[in-house]
Amino acid sequence: MMSEWPLWEIFIRGQHGGSHRHVGSLHAPDAEKAILNARDVYTRRNEGVSIWAVRAGDITASAPGDKGPLFEPSNSKVYRHPTFFDIPDDVGAM
Amino acid sequence: MYAQQIKTGARRLKSLAEMEPQERAFQEHVDAGSKIEPKDWMPDGYRKTLIRQISQHAHSEIVGQLPEANWISRAPTLERKAILLAKVQDEAGHGLYLYCAAETLGISRDQMLEQLHNGQAKYSSIFNYPTLTWADVGMIGWLVDGAAIMNQVPLQRCSYGPYSRAMVRVCKEESFHQRQGYDSLIKLCRHGTAAQKEMAQDALNRWWWPALMMFGPPDGESVHSAQSMAWKIKQNTNDELRQKFVDQTVPQADYLGLEVPDPDLRWNDARGSYDFGEIDWEEFHRVLGGDGPCNRQRLEDRVRAWEDGAWFRDGLMAHANKKADQKSLGRADAA
């Protein structure tokens, strides 16, 4: 078999604003065809108004083993959440 | 189902106490209902089982286009033709979602296609039956996609993240498939001529049993089924899903005024379910093993489509490489 088309990760921005979200991946020879293929594979029902295609090999991902060192520091900073602070009822909505 | 008789490599189920720490952590993660993602550690058997199941599922979606494609140029109205085209396009999309999910496990697209083309990988037995009349297209939507939904809804909760997410997309689209089939059968059976209704009855006679076989043989005793369920790849036994399908489908046949071709079919008040007759498992194994009415034709069609498309795939790749080279040359010139 001949050389396989490269893999692209596809991100779609939906109708109602919001950010682009990862929807899946597909193979395409180049960026232009990746967008066309993404149109056919991921927006057959009007799911989006904008497509990003990114070469899968260009994505750097955090390693599952790093979960601890990466995310643990935020566990100890509970004061980052508004519910950490007690505001008296008399103050009203805040 | 779309993936039938998936082997897990397991001889018997291991208890948590027997597992090495890594595997125990994995199993506890799964037991807690958490998802496994591509880069997470997983037992070799889990990976292999998923590759087998997801690729078989993907192949079924792709080969599943063929029996219906037979009727795209023969659809009775322009509207039915457009609907059928959209449905067949969806099946291609479902195949692509699934191939991508399988690729996250370390198998390439080309490897999967090679396994399909050389007969090493299976696809659902159901697609090896011929579509002789227009009523068969309705039957496929109603029964085949109906059975697929029955299986795919619980697969949305599968422990492997990419498979589960692909299933969410598939399920959103699948309901249209079943409804368009049933809708076309309503036209034939309730608004059509006697001959049209007879055509629908003939189609039901031919599709009913193969549809029940889609769920695979009874797996109560199977260690593979037990292992798949322990890994939360599978949520229900084959017989549970088959029973659910029969219970849901028989009243729909009644509405059409069609007779389910099973003399043993009767409502069982005590069970709150339909009892039904014995399935011909010899036929199932024959068809899955490659000797059904259309196996050779289906595979030939797939291989030919792949080979006939080679010049196109290679041409686009060559064009993309040329453009990339020109771009980097241009950059070098500018510098």
pLDDT in tens, B16-73: 989 999 999 999 999 999 999 999 999 999 999 999 999 999 999 999 999 999 999 9
* The pLDDT of residue A40: 95
The pLDDT assigned to B102 comes to 98
Query: Which of A1, A3, A25 has the CB atom closest to B100's CB atom?
Result: A25
**Residue B327 sits at the chain A interface (C-beta within 8 Å):** no
Inter-chain residue contact A2 with B313, CB threshold 8 Å: yes
Does the pLDDT at position B1 exceed 70?
A: no
- Confidence tier at B229 by pLDDT (50, 70, 90): very high
Place of tokens 């029902």: A45
Q: Which residues of B touch A26 (CB under 8 A)?
A: 96, 100
Residue with tokens 């643990």: A72
| Cβ burial B72-100 (10 Å sphere, 16+ → b, else e) | beebeeeebeebbeebbebbebbbbbbbb
Q: How far is Cα of residue B107 from the mean position of the Cα atoms in its chain?
A: 19
User: Are the C-beta atoms of residues B90 and B173 closer than 8 Å to each other?
Assistant: yes
Query: CB of B165 within 8 Å of any CB in chain A?
Result: yes
Using 50, 70 and 90 to split pLDDT, how confident is the model at B101? very high
Q: What is the structure's pLDDT at B335?
A: 64
- Average pLDDT of the residues in B229-234: 95
A52 to chain B, closest Cα gap in Å: 17
Tell me which residue in B97, B310, B323 faces A24 most closely, judged by beta carbons.
B97
Stretch 300-319 of chain B: residues touching chain A, C-beta under 8 Å: 310, 313-314, 316-317, 319
User: Average pLDDT of B92-101?
Assistant: 97
Tell me the mean pLDDT in the region B287-293: 94
Q: Residue B267 pLDDT > 90, yes or no?
A: yes
Longest CA pairwise span in chain B (Å): 83
- Inter-chain CB proximity B169 and A27 less than 8 Å: no
Distance of alpha carbon B295 from alpha carbon B125, whole angstroms? 9
Per-residue confidence (pLDDT) for residue B41, from 0 to 100: 95
CB contact at 8 A, B286 and B292: yes
Distance CA(B185)–CA(B135), nearest Å, equals: 7
Chain B residues with CB inside 8 Å of A7's CB? 100, 103
CA distance B306 to B72: 20
Q: Which pLDDT band, with edges at 50, 70 and 90, does B163 fall under?
A: very high
Exposed, middle or buried, B254 (CB in 10 Å: 0-12/13-18/19+)?
Answer: exposed
CB B68 within 8 A of CB B88: yes
Q: How confident is the model at residue B81 (pLDDT cuts 50, 70, 90)?
A: very high
What's the whole-number mean pLDDT along residues B199-207? Answer: 98
What does the block give as tokens for B284? 């199932």
Size of interface A-B (CB pairs under 8 A): 56
Instruction: At B65, list the tokens.
Output: 């286009």
A55 φ, ψ to 5°?
A: -55, 125
Q: How far apart are CA A82 and CA A78, in angstroms?
A: 9
Across residues B275-289, what is the average pLDDT?
Answer: 96
What band does B332 get if pLDDT is binned at 50, 70 and 90? confident
Q: B110 to each of A3, A38, B93, B97, B106, how far by Cα in Å?
A: 9, 20, 17, 15, 12
Nearest-CA residue of chain A relative to B315? A29
Residue type (1 letter), B270: A
Residue B333 confidence (pLDDT): 72
Task: Tell me which residues of chain A have a pLDDT lower than 70.
Answer: 1-2
Neighbours of B305 (CB within 10 A): 12
- The answer, for B157 touching chain A at a CB cutoff of 8 Å, is no
Q: Which of A27, A29, A40 sits opposite B319 (nearest CB)?
A: A29
Q: Taking Cα atoms as reference points, which of B22, B9, B11 lies closest to residue B48?
A: B9
Q: Which of B97, B117, B165, B328 to mutate to test the interface with A (most CBs of A within 10 A)?
A: B97
B314 contacts in A (CB within 8 Å)? Answer: 2
**Residue A10: helix, strand or coil by DSSP?**
strand
Nearest-by-Cβ selection for B114 from A1, A27, A40: A1
Under DSSP, the state recorded for A88 is -
